[in-house]
Chains A and B, each alone.
Chain A
Amino acid sequence: MNFSGDLPLRADNAPLSIDDNTAPVVLQLNGISKSFGSNHVLRDVSLKVHQGETVCLLGPSGCGKSTLLRCINWLEVPDGGTVHVSNQRMGVRDGSAHKMTDAELARSRARIGMVFQHFALWPHLSVLHNVMEAPIHVLKRPRDEVRAEAESLLNRVGLADKINAFPSRLSGGQKQRVGIARALAMKPDVLLFDEPTSALDPELVGEVLGVMRGLAEEGATMVIVTHEMEFARQVASRIVFMDAGEVIRNRTSGAVLRRAANAAGTAVSRALPGTSRSASGVMKTAPHDRGAAACLIQRVPPIARAPCRPPA
Chain B
Amino acid sequence: MGDFLIVWQQRGDVLEGLAGTLGLLVVSAIASLVLGALLTPALMSRRAAVARLATLYVDAMRCAPFLLFVYLIYFALPSAGIRMSNWWSGAIALILYNTAYMAELLRGAWRELPSSMIESGRAYGFSGFTLLRRIILPPVFTSAMPMIGNQVVQIVKDSAFLTIIAVTELTHQMNGIQATYFIPFAAFITAIALYWAICLVIESMTGLLSKFAEERRA
A interface residues, Cβ below 8 angstroms from B: 73, 75, 102-103, 105-107, 109-110, 112, 114, 116, 118, 120-125, 133-134, 137-139, 166-169, 182, 186
Contact = CB atoms under 8 A, between A and B. Distances in A.
A103 to B, nearest CB: 5
Interface residues of B, number: 23
B128 to A, nearest CB: 6
B114 interface: yes
A110 B216 contact: no
B139 A122 contact: yes
Nearest to A165: B215
Contact of A106 (B120, B125, B215): B125
Q: Which 5 A-B pairs have the closest CB atoms?
A: A110-B125, A120-B120, A106-B127, A138-B125, A134-B124
A125 B121 CA distance: 13
Q: For chain B, what secondary structure do more than half of its interface residues adopt (helix, strand, loop), or is it mixed? A: helix
Given A120-B117, A186-B124, 13 more contacts: A103-B127, A106-B126, A110-B125, A114-B123, A120-B116, A122-B120, A122-B121, A122-B138, A137-B130, A138-B124, A138-B125, A139-B125, A168-B218
Nearest to B118: A120
B123 A133 contact: no
A168 B215 contact: yes
A255 B139 CA distance: 43
B99 interface: no
Contacts of B117: 120-123
A103 B128 CA distance: 7
Interface string B119-158: 1111111111010001100110010000000000000000
Contacts of A107: 125
Contacts of B123: 73, 75, 109, 112, 114, 116
